[in-house]
Structure 1
């Protein structure tokens, strides 16, 4: 194990709760980090779920102010939650996959310690991702503010009819839309809900924001990619049980005439990937490109 680089002295561990058997993996990572001379802290919710009182706990703000990087052990949902909180502090994130897909938590449990060793020693690929910020205005006053790594989604309730939306971009009227809702996605989110709704894949380095209608009434209403300098305003014209959510994790209930202002956040997040990491390899693996069912060696 190499000496601790000055850039990574204090490391936060963020762990998905209620995951069977995760304690053993956490202890492996803790032992590895302590042996390497790193100071380790738990994120507050992680500390509450793990019975390891010898490890100090910090809030997300404390981690942002005191820690040099954060290791996230979980799935992409765990990563999304902490990434939004740490974005203002420029704390880089390392993801160990304890979930299913793992687009952002990309280090497998098997062989994770040698990979961590190389990343913390400075042998890694750093990748910055943009975020969206949204403000919900009612009668001109902000009632909810949120950040999104993946997407901001305006959608109808399960038992409600279509929602009618007006969409403006940079003070220019775009369209009135009748649909089940609208997804406003970052390039990171283009592999998430936006993709399942028929949106395009955007490379993470592209400066774009994609709008994807959810089951639009007019079949000609198609996804569109906008410059990430755009400001998007969505106004609720009509509908019941409408919500806006940020990464499917924070919500606000909406009423007719509410307006959602969405733009690129001034904050960004940095992922530290293993050396040799490739976005295209990730797509091929996670989306099962060029894979065929087994035919016992026959084509």
Structure 2
């Protein structure tokens, strides 16, 4: 095999260089030359049927066949500039693809992270907005409730005097009808007054002429309200009209007239309406 390189271009490797020095192997070559001459002498002796002794006096037997193994120098493949350029382009392409792939993976990871952060931020903002709207609605409802209560109170203040007037008018009408249809009403007023009176020993009941008979006829019932030693006297007072009555005790005078009771009731109703204002 020829070691001659036939090419228009020669590739020179600037790396490690191998130097062949034939002077270093001169002794090895002389030894090989000596052994070759000795072998030729042995071969000549064999042809004559004799085995001459060697330098040490040893007689050779059957000569062995010496096989020369020639080591051929491996031919180093050479690369053309086109191949070098192509390999560089391939490496650059692979590196670019690797960089692009890593960039895409990093971009995908960043995008996912941004999405999760935006999602969390959006949820928090939505929750905050919902809470603010709920609080605002709650405030509106509370304000509406307060306005309704204020309006109701104002209406009630306006209606209470009117209701008082209507109630007193109805009481006047109702008691007037009762007084006409129920002749014993004055007796019940006297009975109620004496039941709540003090422990007096003398009661003088002054009534009108129209009511005298109805009250005097039931004096025994009035005695059951006081102690046995108590004296009850029923007299006619010309200044009193029907359903009017005055009771004198040892310590006070009780006005239990129907008109007086109605006036007191109407006064209390009106005072109650004024106090609520």
TM-score of the superposition, structure 2-length normalised? 0.15
Q: Point out the structure with max Rg over C-alpha.
A: 2
The structure with the largest helix share of the pair is 2
State the TM-score, normalized to the length of structure 1: 0.14
Structure having greater relative contact order (Cα 8 Å, sep ≥ 6)? 1
